[in-house]
Chain A
Amino acid sequence: NNSSQLSSLPLQILLYVNGVYYIFYFLATLAMIIYKSQVFSYPDDFLAPDLAVLFLMAILEVPRLYLGFKGNLTEAEAPLGLSLGLTVGSVVLCVYLLLWQTYVLWADVLLNAVLLSAYGLESGLKVMAIAAFVS
């Protein structure tokens, strides 16, 4: 019965796909940072911020996805709103890895662009879901 269900199915699918994709993204970016540190000259004071941003993003991703799932399934707008806030942080970190990393490889550009578009689509769907829950 579709009319009484406010949870957004596309958002759920997207969150699930986002979770899987993020695992792949994290491992690939970590591997590429290791590759870069071997092949290029990567001094420690440049390596540290890049690794810190990557791990911070991973730490943010877990509650973000959990709150998104919970908010969407329980049709509560508070967790969804919090997840939206965390998404903003993740977007900033993703933009850092896309533009201000020490070495931005072409593969980095691809991975980060896909992640950014996923975040953008997710944010739009979350806003629509919040609007649906509130009203």
Chain B
Amino acid sequence: PADTPDTAQARPRSAPAPVTDVAKLCVCDLLVAQCDVNCCCDPDCSADDFSLFTTCSVPVVTGDSQLCSQKAAVYSLDVEANPPERIFKLIDQVNPSIFCIHATNYKQALYLKSSEIPTPENFDRLLDKFGGVGFSAEPESWNLDTDAQNPPDANETYRYEYGVPVQTEDAFLRLPSPVVSSWCSDANPAGFLVNQATKCIRSVSVEKCDSIQALSMLFYINSSILASVFQVNITVQSVVVQSQNGMRTLLNSSDVLRLPMVLDELCINAVLGVNYHITHTDTGEITEAAAAFVLGAISKEALSIEQSFEINFTQENTQPVPLSGNPGYVVGLPVRAGFRPQGYPFPAGFLSNKHSQLTILQSTSTQDCLAAQGARAPVLFGYNMISGCKLRITAAVKCQPLAQTLLDVLKGQSFPEYVASFGNSQAQDVLDWVPITQLHISEQMISNTLQSSCQIPVSLGIEVKWTKYGSLVNPQARIVNVTATITTTTLKQLPSGRERIIPVTSSVVFTDISSPAEPGYKAWPTINIKLPFDFFYPFV
């Protein structure tokens, strides 16, 4: 009788029945229809194969050893016989303990639980239970759909901690990001104090562009963030329009909400990027939220666009400075430096780090000092660097301007005066900044040189002394001392027509001057001995 396809599908598939006969179980039988080496229980092996084995990798196959009496299959090789042969014995193994299992009426007791086979009926339930990142008995707390969320109490102060999702009225502040593949998933919440930047691809179509929510500005500033006593609305900080060829223009009026619409077979005002800036207090309450948009146009042929999202958290009343470590310096991050105008040091440029960084001359391919003016590399913590260039001098070169030019080449336009001691030193903390000591060394100390002879700087050596600070298991790098040494040499007058090439070098060296760790107790342990309250009862 022919098996109709319907009945074949309707019959539920089940896992194959477990093998429980010890004589038929073979753990080392891995190759199908081939003899496994040293596997004495393999049914595919013939007597000739057994004679070639050295040992039996599986000597005994038993069931659960807690049973009082059970069958055991014992395999061994008789090496005395010629040729060696395999011995198979089925014996009864007895467990002498008084707590051995005599009988059990619970079938699954001694076997592993077999898992449910997915069927069309239970597939959704199994997917909910096992389809997430982790298995949990309760539904995930970040479930954004119709489960009733407890409406938050409006009078409650919302203090956020690091990593906690930023809550809004209906759910969480979303930062669309790619999950598994590059397609945007809107279910990624933004964590407090977690600065993130993500890029993902969204599928679009020009005809439906005004109905796709994720392309409209409203989608991103719609909900207000729950913070402290009141709710913080997300304001529009700036709107930049990107044209088809990539040129971006900043719009003057940023309070007009631009919604996507179809114009001339293009979809304009589609959101290509959002940059959230959240301001918070030092106790974890959010005070302000602003979003900067990049809008663009989607052409008819485009099936997908790339959107980029970023979120930054800034503490109020501070300038946002990119940290080079928290608190100790992280190897590879730039050394923070600054100036001290009128009273307290502050880094003269915050978001653009061109003006107050400790920089070093960057070697160029031409190796010409005068042409290399302007190319500088930031000094990264922990990386010793050396760079240089060659200076060609002729007889006609004047000394003083040359010395000044070389000093500019070596030190850069604005050589800082202070270096941050820790990676997260704030500008207000004066004691956290280390002054740069400047030394001048003259190469030639010959007394017969005239005082007025010209000294030109030929090398700058920055030595940064740092120490390990804090606990032994998590030491933080702390800069203790920075010394910039300029070495000068005399410039001898050249006969006219001759040229000379002087090498100019600059280097940065990081020296670890940590002292060995000292053990210490936070507080000496004390012994509290007190007499009981009523020790002298009858007398007092």
Contact = CB atoms under 8 A, between A and B. Distances in A.
Interface of A: 32, 35, 40-41, 46, 99-110
B171 interface: no
Contacts of B66: 40
A41 B104 CA distance: 12
B99 A35 contact: yes
A104 B99 CA distance: 9
Given A99-B103, A104-B104, A107-B98, 17 more contacts: A35-B99, A40-B66, A41-B108, A46-B106, A100-B105, A102-B105, A102-B109, A103-B101, A104-B102, A104-B103, A105-B99, A106-B97, A106-B99, A106-B102, A107-B99, A109-B102, A110-B98
Contacts of A41: 108-109
Contacts of A109: 102
A110 B68 CA distance: 13
A108 B99 CA distance: 8
Interface of B: 66, 68, 97-106, 108-109
A104 B101 contact: yes
A101 B105 contact: yes
A103 B104 contact: yes
Nearest to B103: A104
A106 B106 contact: no
Nearest to A110: B98
A106 B104 contact: no
Contacts of A108: 102
A40 B104 CA distance: 11
A40 B64 CA distance: 12
Contacts of B109: 40-41, 102-103
Contacts of A103: 101, 104, 106, 109
13 contacts: A32-B99, A40-B101, A46-B106, A99-B103, A100-B105, A102-B105, A102-B106, A103-B104, A103-B106, A105-B99, A105-B100, A107-B98, A110-B98
Contacts, number: 40
B105 A105 contact: no
Contacts of A105: 98-102
Contact of B68 (A32, A99, A106): A106
Contacts of A100: 105
A106 B98 contact: yes
Nearest to B97: A106
B105 to A, nearest CB: 6
A35 B104 CA distance: 15
A104 B100 CA distance: 9
Nearest to B111: A41
A109 B104 CA distance: 12
Contacts of A99: 103
A100 B104 CA distance: 8
Contact of B100 (A32, A46, A106): A106
Closest 4 CB pairs of A and B: A104-B103, A102-B106, A104-B102, A107-B98
Contacts of B106: 46, 102-103
A114 to B, nearest CB: 14
A68 to B, nearest CB: 31
A41 B99 CA distance: 15
A100 B105 CA distance: 6
A46 B103 CA distance: 15
A32 B102 CA distance: 14
Contacts of A32: 99
A109 B102 CA distance: 8
A120 to B, nearest CB: 21
Which of A100, A106, A107, A110: most chain B CB closer than 10 A? A106
A43 to B, nearest CB: 8
Nearest to B64: A40
B241 to A, nearest CB: 65
Nearest to B108: A41
A101 B108 CA distance: 14
Contacts of B105: 100-102, 104
Contacts of B102: 104-106, 108-109
Which of B97, B108, B109: most chain A CB closer than 10 A? B109
A46 B100 CA distance: 19
A102 B105 CA distance: 5
A116 B427 CA distance: 88
Contacts of B101: 40, 103-105
B196 to A, nearest CB: 44
Contacts of B100: 105-106
